[in-house]
Structure 1
Amino acid sequence: MSRRVAGLAGLLLLLATQGGLANAPRNSPAPEPRPKAPVGDVLVQAIGVAAPKGLSKLFGKGPKLCGATGIEGKPIAPIKGARKGCGLKNGVEVTAVYGVPLSQPTRIDCPTARALAAWVDQAVKPLIGDTGGGLAEVQIYGHYACRTRNNQKGAKVSEHGKGRAVDIGGFTLADGTYVSVQSGWPSKAHGPALKAALKAACGPFGTVLGPRANRHHRDHFHLDTARYRSGPYCK
């Protein structure tokens, strides 16, 4: 037995014989909370990519889907693609994120679900704020679909065909106002918030395309978690 272990055993015996252990409090004070991890580090852990400043952590107490709180839905059976390159393994069907319903059940993979949840909760909701009573629903234009990019013949399979993409057509507010990407983008009332929301998506998502990208995206945001790039592509 080492001197250190022997000394510790002797100290415990002394405390026991003098009633020290018997009179010790049953519950010790809780330790001081650890400092919160930097926002970017938490999102890197959660979705595998760096995030813009201002986005907060995904993880916390409560039921978890895809290992994160705030994502409502269920796992789904694997989807076998109708063409080579399509398919979705370990997918989920998301119905709401952080209490905000999606306009339709959205079939995507977990990294995309986590990115969507972070973006809606930490970027879209604060940007909309109390306007119209706040954010009430996210309008989903597209999710899993076995197709080519922009539905162009001969093009590569879209990230939609891999469950890694979601198209956002706009947002419904609590008072019933619908803010569409197409009509809201050029407006003074909603344009700044939409532009800021699109910019905030760059990082959690690998590809971010909006009305300025091309004619195919003038009425929605295309957000995907493409794995093949070294950094996000945003336009």
Structure 2
Amino acid sequence: MKHKISVLAIWFLLDQFSAAVPQGHATPIPETKPLFDLNGIGFVEGVDVPSAKPQPEKAVPKQKNQQTAISENSCIIPNAEFEELEPVSGAIREGQLNDIACGISDPVRLESVSAVGHKIEFSSPVTVSCKFAKVVAEWLREDVLPLALNNLETSVSVIQSGPGYQCRRRNNLPDGKLSEHALGKALDISHFKLGNGTIISVEDDWGKRTKESKFLDRIHAAACKRFTTVLGPEADPNHKSHIHLDTGCHGQDCTYIICQ
């Protein structure tokens, strides 16, 4: 009995001592709280709980959207100002031949070509096929402009030419084969206006012993490396006033070049 009483006395003294200790020095037991409901409203990943480790993304096949498909089919002519047009066929002006064989499936209205800080404008925009416009732009950008800068010490600012597309036969004859103009693959150039205001005329300056005449000879020769047909004043009387350029097919494999 004495042993049992002493144990009770010890428990009583400990309880009294605990009550006498200031609460600020006590070590409180954390209160149990309910777990947060991840499905509850207000959950924000990275704020309410740590972000989950990102999973590697599965490779998804790239799909072409409509815009990409359209851009891939669009005409691209570097350093040129032009407008893409709806397909044309037959006569588009009064007095022209109205043949269903005439037409361009991818016409553009070419306005200007730029290179090394210079712009060459057409006096009136020309309507030609996209493919032909690319060749014209390359010739102007890579041949005509450098030749003018190197030999005339000025740029070419304006080109005077025909309209490009015309539903007609060769040399405007009433019968015979269609001209390449009728397919948007030809252009006739008559004058070059230089940056200093000088105007070079194919009809007036061709064949003379002047720097302007040499310029015409050089751009004519350069054109023969890009176009399949190049006809100047020496070709025949029909071309005494202009240089005719086209990309028509000559020969069985379309590689025969006519350069006159």
Match of residue 86 from structure 1: 102
Match of residue 60 from structure 1: none
For the pair 1:119 / 2:135, whether they are aligned, the reply is no
Distance (whole Å) between structure 2 residues aligned to residue 203 and residue 111 of structure 1: 16
Aligned residue runs from structure 1 range 119-138, under 5 A: 119-129=139-149, 131=152, 133-138=154-159
Secondary structure (helix, strand or coil) at the match of 1:128 reads helix
Q: Do the aligned residues in 1 keep the contact of 2:190 with 2:243 (CA within 8 Å)?
A: yes
Match of residue 234 from structure 1: 259
Which of 80, 97, 117 does residue 71 from structure 1 map onto? 80
Distance (whole Å) between structure 1 residues aligned to residue 247 and residue 200 of structure 2: 25
Secondary structure (helix, strand or coil) at the match of 1:133 reads coil
Report how many residues are paired: 171
Per-residue deviation, 1:184: 1.2
Which of 153, 164, 171 does residue 150 from structure 1 map onto? 171
Distance (whole Å) between structure 2 residues aligned to residue 92 and residue 141 of structure 1: 15
Per-residue deviation, 1:84: 3.6
Match of residue 188 from structure 1: 209
Q: Do the aligned residues in 1 keep the contact of 2:89 with 2:100 (CA within 8 Å)?
A: no
RMSD: 1.6
Distance (whole Å) between structure 2 residues aligned to residue 126 and residue 185 of structure 1: 20
Q: Any stretches of 5+ residues in structure 2 without a counterpart? A: 1-73, 91-97
Secondary structure (helix, strand or coil) at the match of 2:181 reads helix
Q: Any stretches of 5+ residues in structure 1 without a counterpart? A: 1-64
Q: Do the aligned residues in 2 keep the contact of 1:66 with 1:114 (CA within 8 Å)?
A: no
Match of residue 247 from structure 2: 225
Task: Using structure 1 for the length normalisation, give the TM-score.
Answer: 0.69
Specify which structure has the bigger relative contact order, considering alpha-carbon pairs within 8 angstroms and separated by 6 or more residues. 1
Match of residue 171 from structure 1: 192
Match of residue 228 from structure 2: 206
Which structure has the bigger radius of gyration?
A: 2
Distance (whole Å) between structure 2 residues aligned to residue 77 and residue 68 of structure 1: 17
Identity level (%): 33
- Which 4+ residue blocks in structure 1 deviate beyond 4 angstroms? none
Per-residue deviation, 1:132: 6.5
Secondary structure (helix, strand or coil) at the match of 2:221 reads helix
Matched letter for residue 103 of structure 1: S
Distance (whole Å) between structure 1 residues aligned to residue 226 and residue 162 of structure 2: 19
Distance (whole Å) between structure 1 residues aligned to residue 208 and residue 153 of structure 2: 16
Secondary structure (helix, strand or coil) at the match of 2:182 reads helix
Deviations 1:96-139 (A, max 9, x none): 01221111110000121111111111111121116373211111
Which of 129, 150, 170 does residue 109 from structure 1 map onto? 129
Distance (whole Å) between structure 2 residues aligned to residue 111 and residue 96 of structure 1: 16
Deviations 1:171-200 (A, max 9, x none): 001122110101111222211110110110
Deviations 1:3-30 (A, max 9, x none): xxxxxxxxxxxxxxxxxxxxxxxxxxxx
For the pair 1:96 / 2:96, whether they are aligned, the reply is no
Q: Do the aligned residues in 1 keep the contact of 2:224 with 2:259 (CA within 8 Å)?
A: yes
Per-residue deviation, 1:204: 1.4
Deviations 1:187-222 (A, max 9, x none): 222111101101100131111111111000011010
